[in-house]
Structures are given as C-alpha cells and as structure tokens.
Structure 1
Amino acid sequence: MFDFHKNHKLLFATAFLGFAMLSTVIAIIPALQMQEVKPLPGMKDLNSEELKGLRVYVSENCMACHTQQVRNIEMDQVWGQRPSLASDYYYSKKRLDLWRQSPSLLGSERTGPDLTEVGKRQPGQEWHLLHLYNPRIVVKESIMPAYPWLFEEKSPAMVTQKDVLVPVSDDLLKNPGYKLVAKPEAMALIAYLQSLVQIDVGQNLGPDFIPSTRKKKDQADGQESLDLVGVQLYAETCAACHQTSGEGIAGAFPPLAGSKIVNDPDANILVQIILSGYDARPEFGAMPGFANLLTDEEIAAIANHERNSWGNQAPAVTPGQVAEIRKFIQKQ
C-alpha cells in the first residue's frame, strides 16, 4: 500500500507530516501554554542592574554547575521554601536583547548549590565579593573556579569613593599593598544573585515536597516536628561566613570561637543577632536576620551548637527562650 522505496513523493510527504506532528506536540503546544503563564503576585521584573548581572551570569556559563529549580522531593527542601513553579520564570524567559534568546537557567547538573533562593541565603554583598574573587576564601573545600577578571587591583592613590573594595590579604594579590576593587560586572552579577528569592505563595497554595515534611508549628505540646541537628543547621546556614571551624574570615566575618557574645550566660544578644541580623561593626560584613527563615527550635539548635563548640561553653538555649525574644523584637 505504501511503497516508500519507489514513491518519493509519499516518502517526503510522510516525513514532513511526522515532523510537523512532532513539532506541534513537542514545541508549539508547550510554547502556547507558556504564553498563559502569569507572574506570581508580588513578583518584580529585573531592573537594569540585575539584567546586566543576568547577562554576566550567562556569559560566565554559571548554569553549567548551578541549577535554579527546586524539585518536589524532600532532599531539595534545603534549596527553597517550596518546589519551583512555572510562574517563577516569567521574567527570566524574556529575550536578553534583539539578538539573543532568553537563557535556559534551570540547569541540569548541581555541581554547586542551587541558586533559586541564594538571595535569601546569602544576601550580604561582602560574601559574594570574596566568593567570586576566590571561592576558597569562604569555602575551603570549594571546587568552583575563581573569577579574578571581574576585579582589578588599584594603587591606594587611584581608589575613589565610588570603588567597592574587597577585603583580602596581600598574599592573595599580584601587587601587595594595592587594593582589590570590584568591576561593574561583578557588582551587576551580585545584584542579580541577590534578586533570586522565591515568592511566598502561602502554606497551602503551592506544591508540597514528596514526602511531605511540613513543619507543625502549632503543636499544643510544643514538641519539635523535625529531628533538628545543630551541626547540620549550622553547616547549612552559618558556616559559609563563620566557617566550620568557627574562626570566621579576617576582615569580613567575625569569629564565633571564643566570642564573648556566644559565651555569655545570657543568650539574649546572641539570639537577637540570629533573628534580626547585625551590622554594627564596620570592619565586618553585614549579617542578615533569620527570623523569617528559621523556627524557634532551629535557632535554639544553632545557638546551642555555637555555644558548645570550638572550646565555647555556655548554658543551653531553649525554644521557649527564643520565642520570647522573638516576641520582644516584634513589639519594637
């Protein structure tokens, strides 16, 4: 009936029909469906500086090692407050310019951490500057390549007030005594990374993780709903700046080992800093607050780990104490 060997018209017509059908199913229909996707309430488009940073992110091929997708499985819960939605990518799907198509930011390999909510995990500019210049400064085990071409060394006489200085020691500079200054490309990239924050869609509206590990915050008996481990929470939340050794980074992040605040029998100041952040010492980078990211039980676990590690010795902090301090801060 169908003799493709002798009827070339039938052969090419069948091949074209198959191509058209596959293109419709694989490309055209999904593209039309994507046109119906709308941004989530509260989402903002990238400003000009963040858009420049996105271009730097693409040009440096950051997608090769970093993903921007939180899967709906339990192990991905550390990367975001909920699994990713199609609407999360509403603004990033736009073309970069007339000649360049919108980049694919999802990534396929997680050699480095997922960046879906890096703007909330690492909102501090100082950390990003050090990490881009030499990742081993802040994470000794990091295999991420350094990006020194995003920075330049200037003599102290050439530094202006507009320059953003990076606090590194002379042994990391090609010209000891010079100052390390971030180029506009580095600042734009950091602005883009700081913009990466998931929009809260409500506890019962967004998709859930499989299996569900939603925290039961309203239990009458006050029991913890998760097996909280201070070491793990510290590693996920604090170690990037204060280091696993608790020694911090000179000129950037203060040490916790031997800290008077950490070892104070009264944990009030320590818990307030964890909840609200801290930016009172100009010689160190600003610390973000974690009141909206961590529960009372999690903050107590982190505080107890810090107060009983690296030679520190201080009384334990209870979730009830954290709750009282949280209420005190909210009233102010």
Structure 2
Amino acid sequence: MEYFNNHKNLYITATTLFVALTILVCIIPALDNEKNYAPLPNSKPLSKEAEMGKAIFVSEGCMACHTQQVRNVDMDKTWGKRPSIAADYAGISRTDIWRNTATLMGTERTGPDLTNIGSRQPSSEWNLTHLYNPRILVKESIMPSYPWLFEEKENVLPTDVVVTVPEEYLTNKHNKIVATPKALHLIAYLQSLVQADLPETVAKPIFLYKKEIRTVTASNGKKEELDGAPLYANNCQMCHQENGKGLKGAFPALKDSKVVLNEDPKTMVDIIMNGYSGRISEGYAVMPPVGTNNNLSPEEITAIMNYVKTNWGNNAPKVTTQQIDELVKKVKK
C-alpha cells in the first residue's frame, strides 16, 4: 500500500508506461513504415515553389472541398489513370520537427478530385483565371474567388504574370490582373499533382462496379451514338465555353474553327489524344491530351466531335466510331 500512497512512484510508473507504449505503438511502427515503404520510382518530389504552394493550399482550406484520392470505383476513373495506392502517399514527410503534414486526401468532393489535376489541366493560364474568379470559365461554379492572391495594376512590369480576365470582371477596364507569388506557388503545387505510373512488374489495380453499356438501336436498325452535349460539358466546356467561342487571349474558339470544319478528322483526333501547343505565340494556352487523360473511348470521342461539328453554326461532316477508332490507334504516342 505504501507504493500506491507514494505519488512520486505512481508518477514515475505512469510516465514510464506512457513512454514505453508510445515507443511500441507509435514510434517503432512509424520507423518500420519509413524503412519498408517508399514512393513509386516514377514519382517526383515537390519543388520548393510547390512546397510553398502546398502550404497555401492548406491555409486557404482547399482540402475542405477537394479530395486527393482516386477510389477503385468506375465513377472515379475521370480523376486518374488508376485507383490510388498506399505508395502514392509514401513520399509525404513532416513539415518540420514540430508539425506533421496532412496527406490532403480529403473527405468531401464539393469540387473535383485533384489527384491528377497536373495532368488533366496543366495550363497555368486556365488555373490562374479560374483561381481569380471561377465564374469566368465555369458559370455554374460554386467555388469561391481568391482575388487577394492577385493584384490589379494599371502599369505592369515585364516580369509580371498577367492573367486573362474579361473586362466585365474588372473594377477598372484599363487595369490588368497580375498574379502574386502566392498565386504562382499555389498553381505550381496544383501542376505537381500528377499520378505516377506504376512499375511494369506491379499489377495495375482496376476500377470496380463498371456501368453496363447499353446499345441503343434506332428504328432504321443503326446504332445510336452517345449524346455529345454532356460529354462536351464534362471534358471541353471549361476551356472552350458553352457557346464554343472560347476565351479571348486564352482558349481558342471551336465555332468556325478550321480544325473542326476540316473534312479530314485526323488533326482533330490528334489534338484530342495528344494535346496541342501550336498557338502559344498567339497567347493561347497549351491544350492537354484530354482524350488520353480522361480515358475517353472512341465512342465518346465520336460523340464529342459530332457535337462540336454540328453546333454554334458549324456544319461539318459527321464522323463514325469506326473512323475514330482507327485514327486513335494511328495517332496514339
């Protein structure tokens, strides 16, 4: 009983037990994880700018609406090339001795998943405009604007990064919107979010619960194509806009486009599958390989192309799934 009445002995015993359990339950497993788990060979560490951008991502609360985890269900294949695995997060380390770092996997998708956003939307022009005011590019967006990450200037310097903003969104139409270092760092972080390829020896996880594709046959016996309107909205509209006119100085119009109206669809298929950077000198952003990044099937590409070719006053010959299937195989790099 004397032992239990001695508070010093009790304190020493409790402290020793606490330290021992901490070592056994927390520290040893953590060290074991560091030893046995490593980032994927093809993954790239964050640059200094991206690290600073990650801190801004956290401070602005972006993970409250955006996840960074591709689940192994078919509906998630839009967000990445494959489902996420533990090795995708193995390169995350402590910020410093006092602070741990969040994996930023998120718990809610009010906005899209960002796991592979650096591949899906690598354009810094698009990201900066969207960050300044999402409604410029996506009218229905509920994402908040971040004008405090930008400056409005009447006279810009050669080193300033000017953001494409239509006049109706400016308080003074003679001014220009310039990105601050914080905005540029945040974009650097978003552009770094690219899903690494798995080694050839590792089996690629599959997406489960795939939707059953139903073939609809018209009264004349021909197969009906997919509806291109929602496919265009999900894959193209954020840049080229609902009216097909794009955004002046940033994203080219599809209305009256020579590529769209061309009777030979090869160039259009090539751009969809491999991206395009041929109009940078005109001030237009680099187009990512949307067809490849978003895992679009020949049927989906056909529907999108036919929608673009027959809307906004465009009147180009439609394409067939067989044509597109053959062209996709030819242009794939």
**Shorter-chain TM-score tier:** 0.7 to 0.9
Partner of 1:247: 245
Pairwise CA distance, 1:208: 1.8
Residue 199 of structure 1: which of 184, 196, 199 is its match? Answer: 196
TM-score by length of structure 2 reads 0.80
| Contact 2:276–2:287 (8 Å) recurs in 1 | yes
Pairwise CA distance, 1:286: 2.0
- Superposition CA RMSD, Å: 3.4
The one-character-per-residue Cα deviations of 1:217-264 (angstroms, maximum 9, x if unpaired) are xxxxxxxxxx95533432222111112332322222122233332123
Give the gaps of 5 or more residues in structure 1: 1-11, 216-226
**AA at the equivalent of 2:100:** Q
| Contact 1:121–1:237 (8 Å) recurs in 2 | no
**AA at the equivalent of 1:150:** L
Residue 177 of structure 1: which of 157, 174, 186 is its match? Answer: 174
The one-character-per-residue Cα deviations of 1:257-287 (angstroms, maximum 9, x if unpaired) are 3333212322233223223322333232221
Which one is further off, 256-265 or 112-121?
256-265
**AA at the equivalent of 2:249:** G
Partner of 2:302: 300
**AA at the equivalent of 2:315:** Q
Partner of 2:88: 88
1:211 aligns with 2:209: yes
1:316 aligns with 2:314: no
Pairwise CA distance, 1:70: 1.0
Give the gaps of 5 or more residues in structure 2: 1-10, 214-224
Closer/same/farther in 2, CA of residues 244 and 176 from structure 1, 3 Å limit: closer
- Partner Cα separation in structure 2 for residue 77 and residue 21 of structure 1: 44
Helix, strand or coil at the partner of 1:153: strand
- Partner Cα separation in structure 2 for residue 245 and residue 292 of structure 1: 24
Closer/same/farther in 2, CA of residues 330 and 76 from structure 1, 3 Å limit: closer
Could you tell me the percent identity over the aligned residues? 50
TM-score by length of structure 1 reads 0.80
Pairwise CA distance, 1:289: 2.5
Pairwise CA distance, 1:123: 0.8
- Partner Cα separation in structure 2 for residue 66 and residue 262 of structure 1: 34
Pairwise CA distance, 1:213: 6.8
Which one is further off, 259-268 or 198-207?
198-207
Partner of 2:47: 47
- Partner Cα separation in structure 1 for residue 234 and residue 26 of structure 2: 39
Closer/same/farther in 2, CA of residues 118 and 171 from structure 1, 3 Å limit: same
Closer/same/farther in 2, CA of residues 80 and 134 from structure 1, 3 Å limit: same
Pairwise CA distance, 1:165: 0.6
Partner of 1:142: 141
The one-character-per-residue Cα deviations of 1:111-139 (angstroms, maximum 9, x if unpaired) are 11100111111111111011000010111
Pairwise CA distance, 1:25: 9.8
Helix, strand or coil at the partner of 1:292: helix
